[in-house]
């Protein structure tokens, strides 16, 4: 080991105490330093082989995963660290970027090298390293179970980030990899579902006894702002599953009348779909009705949802101008717009001045079958639910995508007198202190043409449509559902 003498003399105390390592090896200037919750994890890794941390948002999960990784690799010659997460974004954009940030703030830069996809000691690149490994969420169960195959060593640390989203077969060989005394496994993340291996490490009557269980409530973290907590409280309500998962650090409740689970929504962020070249790209626009609402302009092509624009406090002409600009810049083939209330004015302006294929949709209209859906909006939301549960959407793997997932998990449902779905309205959500799911409603609008987009807006079509109630679209009301 080639550590300089100044660091070498500290290694004994660092290995015994990750907390001392964090204070002495890392430059914390400009930060809040190690939080009490993070200190819990640092103290646990010297005593426990299996640590499971369920946490709210913003409590420093990624930072502590990196600090523990740097502590482990610098105090053990030949150490190996395997980090996995459900998505490439979590591995590359978040963990690897966080590793770069704290590595540059450490005293270890002469000893280790970080490259685009490698982190290793200068003396032993092949035997002393940190690697990021995908759990292959779309692979077969057998392939997922092979992810950890071959990872063994006297000093082995395995970190499963956002563990709720990692397929259960991945964890099957975990015990087989933990064969040596100095082998440690850390599971960490938002607990987005109340089933699965990560959940069981906290709540299963037998399995949980093998794990050191830590619970981080974001409200108790000094690095989480009151504004962030207030945002989740105002938008989703303290009794919502979103608040339970994102803030309280708890699993979702067994809420039988939640239409879409946050887990299913987040699964759609893992997809990477390449739509067919001739698949029409179209926009859907949900127009703000109330003071706190925002207008959304959402592009879609097949099952792939692209980043959207958000606008507030715009008049009819200004919003119409933004829609028109998006339409031209994206070379869109059509627009589905909510024409209720303020939306009617925007729709009229676009049809007169926009020179685009604009289809006004009244989501308060009757559904195709009142015994199945109370209104058209309910029919659209159930269509969104079905695709979300099937994990076929490709939602943006970004912070904005997380917000859409949160919105999808917000509304509850009931039934009308005919037995049809009745999804909680924006007004009802506001009455219980939950903000409007504007992005999710825009996604719902896009479902109106999801089965007929090629026929309506296919690039080979010469005839432009001006309204959506046309004979070739339907033989019964809202025939798009079966077209």
Structure tokens at 403: 């917000």
Q: Name the nearest CA neighbour of 215 among 51, 31, 20.
A: 51
**Stretch 298-324: mean pLDDT, rounded?**
93
**Stretch 140-155: mean pLDDT, rounded?**
75
In the block, which residue shows the tokens 């739509």? 275
**Residue 8's pLDDT is what?**
78
pLDDT digits (tens, 9 = 90+) for 80-108: 999 999 888 899 999 999 999 999 999 99
Confidence band, pLDDT 50/70/90 cuts, at residue 341:
confident
Confidence band, pLDDT 50/70/90 cuts, at residue 463:
very low
User: How many H helices and E strands in the chain?
Assistant: 20, 16
Q: What are phi and psi of 251, to 5 degrees?
A: -75, 165
**Stretch 332-360: mean pLDDT, rounded?**
88
Domains of the chain, residue spans: 5-228, 262-481
Confidence band, pLDDT 50/70/90 cuts, at residue 3:
low
Helices (H), ranges, 146-261 = 174-177, 197-203, 226-236, 241-246
pTM of the model: 0.75
pLDDT digits (tens, 9 = 90+) for 264-309: 999 999 999 999 888 999 999 999 876 678 999 999 999 999 999 9
**Residue 475's pLDDT is what?**
38
DSSP-derived 3-state class of residue 107:
coil
**Residue 482's pLDDT is what?**
39
Least confident of 28-42, 137-151, 236-250, 349-363: 137-151
pLDDT at 138 over 90: no
Gap between the Cα atoms of 420 and 345, Å rounded: 31
- The 8-class DSSP code of residue 156 comes to E
Find the helix packing angle between 438-446 and 399-408, rounded to 10°: 80
What CATH topology corresponds to 5-228? Answer: Rossmann fold (3.40.50)
CA dihedral (82, 85, 87, 92) in degrees, to 10, reads: -50
Q: Are 84 and 170 in contact (CB under 8 A)?
A: yes
pLDDT digits (tens, 9 = 90+) for 351-386: 888 678 899 999 999 999 998 999 999 999 999 999
Q: Name the nearest CA neighbour of 64 among 13, 113, 117, 19.
A: 19
pLDDT digits (tens, 9 = 90+) for 100-129: 999 999 999 999 999 988 999 999 999 999
**Residue 458's pLDDT is what?**
66
Q: Are 421 and 413 in contact (CB under 8 A)?
A: yes
pLDDT at 479 over 50: no
CA separation (Å) from 103 to 67, 139, 179, 451?
Answer: 9, 33, 29, 49
**Stretch 430-439: mean pLDDT, rounded?**
85
Confidence band, pLDDT 50/70/90 cuts, at residue 457:
low
pLDDT at 177 over 80: no
Beta carbons within 8 Å of 396's beta carbon, 6+ residues apart: 269, 305, 306, 307, 404
Summary mean pLDDT of the chain = 88
CB-CB neighbours of 71 under 10 Å: 26
Structure tokens at 307: 């980043």
**Residue 424's pLDDT is what?**
93
CATH class of 262-481: alpha beta
**Residue 290's pLDDT is what?**
60
Same fold, 5-228 and 262-481: no
């Amino acid at each position: 080991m080639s550590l300089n003498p100044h660091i070498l003399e500290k290694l004994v105390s660092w290995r015994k105490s990750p907390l001392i390592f964090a204070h002495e090896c890392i430059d914390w200037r400009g930060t809040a330093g190690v939080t009490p919750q993070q200190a819990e994890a640092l103290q646990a890794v010297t005593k426990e082989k299996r640590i499971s941390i369920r946490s709210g948002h913003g409590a420093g999960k990624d930072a502590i995963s990196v600090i523990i990784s740097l502590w482990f690799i610098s105090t053990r010659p030949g150490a190996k660290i395997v980090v996995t997460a459900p998505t490439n974004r979590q591995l590359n954009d978040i963990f690897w970027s966080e590793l770069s940030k704290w590595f540059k703030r450490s005293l270890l830069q002469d000893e280790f090298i970080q490259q685009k996809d490698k982190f290793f000691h200068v003396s032993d690149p092949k035997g002393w390293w940190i690697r990021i490994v995908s759990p292959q969420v779309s692979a077969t169960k057998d392939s997922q179970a092979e992810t950890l195959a071959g990872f063994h060593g006297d000093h082995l640390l395995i970190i499963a980030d956002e563990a709720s989203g990692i397929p259960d077969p991945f964890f099957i060989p975990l015990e087989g990899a933990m064969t040596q005394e100095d082998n440690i496994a850390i599971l960490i993340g938002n607990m987005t579902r109340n089933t699965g291996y990560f959940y069981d490490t906290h709540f299963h009557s037998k399995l949980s006894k093998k794990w050191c269980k830590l619970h981080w409530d974001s409200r108790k973290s000094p690095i989480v702002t009151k504004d962030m907590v207030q945002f989740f409280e105002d938008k989703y309500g303290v009794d919502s599953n979103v608040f339970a998962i994102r803030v309280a650090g708890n699993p979702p409740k067994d809420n039988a009348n939640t239409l879409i689970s946050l887990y299913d929504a987040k699964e759609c962020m893992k997809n990477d779909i390449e739509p067919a070249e001739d698949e029409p790209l179209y926009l859907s626009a949900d127009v703000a009705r109330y003071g706190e609402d925002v207008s959304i302009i959402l592009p879609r092509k097949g099952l792939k949802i692209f980043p959207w624009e958000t606008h507030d406090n715009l008049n009819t002409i200004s919003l119409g101008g933004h829609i028109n600009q998006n339409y031209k810049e994206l070379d869109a083939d059509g627009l589905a717009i909510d024409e209720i209330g303020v939306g009617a004015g925007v729709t009229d302006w676009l049809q007169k001045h926009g020179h685009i294929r604009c289809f006004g949709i009244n989501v308060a209209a009757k559904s195709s079958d009142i015994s199945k859906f109370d209104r058209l909006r309910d029919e659209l939301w159930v269509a969104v639910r079905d695709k979300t549960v099937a994990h076929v959407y490709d939602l943006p793997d970004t912070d904005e995508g997380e917000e859409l997932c949160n919105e999808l998990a917000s509304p509850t449902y009931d039934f009308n007198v005919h037995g049809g779905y009745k999804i909680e309205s924006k007004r009802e959500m506001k009455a219980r202190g939950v903000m409007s799911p504007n992005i999710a409603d825009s996604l719902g609008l896009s479902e109106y043409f999801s089965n007929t987009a090629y026929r309506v807006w296919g690039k080979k079509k010469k005839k432009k449509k001006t309204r959506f109630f046309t004979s070739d679209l339907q033989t019964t009301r809202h025939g798009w559902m079966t077209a």
